[in-house]
Structure 1
Amino acid sequence: MSYTQSDWLNFLKPNYKVLPVKERVLSGVGALCGLAISSLISWYVLGGINAWYIAPMGASSVLLFAVPNSPLAQPWNVIVGNILAGVIGVTCTQLLADSTTAFSLAVGFAIFMMMTTDSLHPPSGAVAITAVLGGDAVHRLGFHFILYPVLLNSILLLVFAVFFNRLIGRHYPLTAHLNERSKDPTPTQKVSIQPKDIEYALDHHTELLDISQYDLEKIILQAQVHANERSMSTFVCQDIMSRDVIRLHEEDDIYQALDKFKSVNLMSLPVVNVQEKLVGTLALYEVVEWFKGATDPRNSWQHYVKQIMSRRVVTVDPLQPIQDLVPYFVEKSFNYIPVVEHERLIGIVSRADMIAALQQQINRQNS
């Protein structure tokens, strides 16, 4: 078998997803701003110290702003990994006269300790080398090098990374995908891949993967849902939605809203304006909370539905496949989801509608 130059290049390249231009620009801007701001603050705080900023922070910024979902980029790894590497690097500098021996031993032992404490952070290897080869300015600091600039630089860059990533809609730091209602697996996990299945596979995989268990689980579940969609003909929302929708108007008095809740025995209702455009939802518990605080002078101005309703509403399009709604009903415990066309409320899909439709699909598969 012969290999072309293109084949060899593809062999050398990683199997890595190239992000859209917008994400690449945001990652670069985040690193630029994070390094500039943390550097200026470090200079202001440590102006009398030559080593007021260290190069390994550049490597940390790659992880924090380009791949914030990496387990290697989490706050524990940044702080603990850099501290451990700093301690080991300074210790090796003071105990070993030969620089090559000192930084080689420092990096090797730092890797071992970071992996032992689950705080592996690749730039920390450069922190250990900087402690040895940083010159007189670093050596004079001794173990103070760990506090400043290492810890100070790490905290400043990390704080900005949390702010910036959340500002642009990324979830950082990484959080576990847990069942908020109990310690059991989520409803979707119960009938598909569970965390313990991922743990079992990872326990039998001895190499370190640069992806969290939670991200791996999410990707597998999404792939499974996508594969299931190919195996069945799907309904769209307009096929199963209820068109005669009981609704509140934003100018309704809160007492009127309570009367409507009592008459229909529902826990939540959509809210529309005079043009019948969906503007929010009002839950019964929000009305109850209003009554509990009605005697508080601070709430004396609240008389209308629009003043206590929630304006953040999950909506769907009439032609959207009903499979898209499953996570909201299963994982988030929604009772219904409004169907909106040109901002106007035209129907709702309830949990009962979904159950009936999914039952129909099961019957089709079995027939």
Structure 2
Amino acid sequence: MFHSRLEWLNTLKPNFKVLPLKERLLCGLGALLGLALSSFISWWVLGDINAWYIAPMGASSVLLFAVPASPLAQPWNMVVGNIIAGIIGVTCAMYIPNLTEAFSVAVGMSIILMMTTDSLHPPSGAVAITAVLGGEAVHELGYHFIFYPVLLNSMLLLVIAIVFNRLLGKQYPQMAQINQRSKDPTPTQKVTIQPQDIQATLDQQTELLDISEYDLQKIILAAQEKANARGISQFKCQDIMTKDVISLNENEDIHSALDKFKHMNLMSLPVINAQQQLVGTLALYEVVEWFKRATDLRTTWQRQVKDIMVRQVITVKPEQPIQDLVPYFVERSFNYIPVVEKQKMVGIISRADMIAALNQQLNVAA
């Protein structure tokens, strides 16, 4: 009996991924910082106005910091949704005497207009209610309520969310599509599931899904790669990597680095320190950009590779299957990926290495 009740309760739970403890703590920390900083700034700007901060921002912080990939959490949704709800809420408070009727109409109309303008933001429903039930302090503001605190709160919280998510390496706001170079499908999509296939399927859905088409594409492509990998024997990165790696030292002079690029006819090189640890990567175009800025006094201090290199580098481990590398070479056009073990670079895998290995796998499969 107890077991059956437990199973019934499980049917009420969402099919939602539970993040690791570290990620959950970071989400909570982001909301804490976002609300604390934005409320302090609102108080500093608005002074004695009692409505300097509104409760719906707490609901917005859940979306911005816990599920920033949600379409409902995007900047357009938050700003436009809150403005629409604020306008309708204030208008209903002014012209509908009965409070129950006023906030009911305000929320209903807000939902319709937000869905019409593709700006649905659930906390905006609470903004509409706050405009009606916020008391005399809110009613005295009239339509100024839309600008402060609603718009001020929204913009402050949004800016903090963008900075915080970017510091954690999360893409926020979400990009519109996977292929940033062309409107055409990416190379992987051309031979598997294409965006129009996903769009056609979504068009047949009658309910609103809380996932962007962009994220749906990424999930489907990742699943497709895993399914394909089951059918072929996998090389590991250590099997195809080049161990005799040409690299730059972080303290190397930029002119010297350019000579190495010219001599080796390469477009980018990994950068290591004195302990042979990978610390960055430098592309030829970044050296060219440095030469273009050479007369700028603000860049006269840049003399060494470490001054202009990119410090965030995608790396792999020797034991990883090479299928893990395909998205970087195909979707993001990487020239090479460093192989790192115990914080030291032990090799690199170039696009040519990948082509040769995948060709061999195709021949075996045939």
Same fold (TM over 0.5): yes
Q: Which residue of 2 aligns with 1:235?
A: 235
Tell me: CA distance 1:22–1:259, structure 2 relative to 1, closer, same or farther (3 Å). Answer: closer
Q: Give the CA deviation at 1:308.
A: 4.7
2:46 aligned with 1:46: yes
Is the 8 Å Cα contact of residues 178 and 186 (structure 2) preserved in structure 1?
Answer: yes
Q: Give the CA deviation at 1:248.
A: 4.2
Tell me: CA distance 1:176–1:278, structure 2 relative to 1, closer, same or farther (3 Å). Answer: same
Range with bigger deviation, 121-130 or 244-253: 244-253
Range with bigger deviation, 270-279 or 313-322: 270-279
Structure 2 CA distance for aligned equivalents of residues 45 and 244 of structure 1 = 60
2:161 aligned with 1:186: no
Tell me: CA distance 1:168–1:231, structure 2 relative to 1, closer, same or farther (3 Å). Answer: same
Structure 2: runs of 5+ lacking an equivalent? none
Q: Which residue of 2 aligns with 1:176?
A: 176
Is the 8 Å Cα contact of residues 237 and 322 (structure 2) preserved in structure 1?
Answer: yes
AA matched with 1:213: E
AA matched with 2:108: G
AA matched with 1:227: A
Q: Which residue of 2 aligns with 1:33?
A: 33
AA matched with 1:151: L
Range with bigger deviation, 172-181 or 292-301: 292-301
Q: Give the CA deviation at 1:77.
A: 1.1
Structure 2 CA distance for aligned equivalents of residues 177 and 14 of structure 1 = 27
Q: Give the CA deviation at 1:38.
A: 2.0
RMSD (Å), alpha carbons = 2.6
Local SS of the residue matching 1:339? strand
Tell me: CA distance 1:209–1:265, structure 2 relative to 1, closer, same or farther (3 Å). Answer: same
Q: Give the CA deviation at 1:9.
A: 0.4
2:16 aligned with 1:16: yes
Structure 2 CA distance for aligned equivalents of residues 58 and 299 of structure 1 = 43
Structure 1 CA distance for aligned equivalents of residues 21 and 8 of structure 2 = 26
Range with bigger deviation, 274-283 or 82-91: 274-283
**Which has the larger Rg?**
1
Q: Give the CA deviation at 1:210.
A: 0.9
Q: Give the CA deviation at 1:45.
A: 2.5
Q: Which residue of 1 aligns with 2:209?
A: 209
Structure 2 CA distance for aligned equivalents of residues 168 and 63 of structure 1 = 16
Q: Give the CA deviation at 1:114.
A: 0.6
Tell me: CA distance 1:104–1:222, structure 2 relative to 1, closer, same or farther (3 Å). Answer: same
Q: Which residue of 2 aligns with 1:133?
A: 133
Structure 2 CA distance for aligned equivalents of residues 56 and 192 of structure 1 = 42
Structure 2 CA distance for aligned equivalents of residues 141 and 302 of structure 1 = 53
Is the 8 Å Cα contact of residues 178 and 214 (structure 2) preserved in structure 1?
Answer: no
Tell me: CA distance 1:121–1:259, structure 2 relative to 1, closer, same or farther (3 Å). Answer: closer
Local SS of the residue matching 2:119? coil
Structure 1: runs of 5+ lacking an equivalent? none
Structure 2 CA distance for aligned equivalents of residues 290 and 68 of structure 1 = 35
Is the 8 Å Cα contact of residues 76 and 119 (structure 2) preserved in structure 1?
Answer: yes
Range with bigger deviation, 198-207 or 273-282: 273-282
Structure 1 CA distance for aligned equivalents of residues 29 and 247 of structure 2 = 45
Q: TM-score, normalised by structure 2?
A: 0.90
Q: Give the CA deviation at 1:78.
A: 1.1
Q: Give the CA deviation at 1:88.
A: 0.9
Q: TM-score, normalised by structure 1?
A: 0.90
AA matched with 2:226: H
Q: Which residue of 2 aligns with 1:97?
A: 97
Q: Give the CA deviation at 1:84.
A: 0.8
Is the 8 Å Cα contact of residues 258 and 287 (structure 2) preserved in structure 1?
Answer: yes
**Which runs of structure 2 are paired with 1:1-367 in the superposition (5 Å)?**
4-250=4-250, 254=254, 256-273=256-273, 275-293=275-293, 305-366=305-366
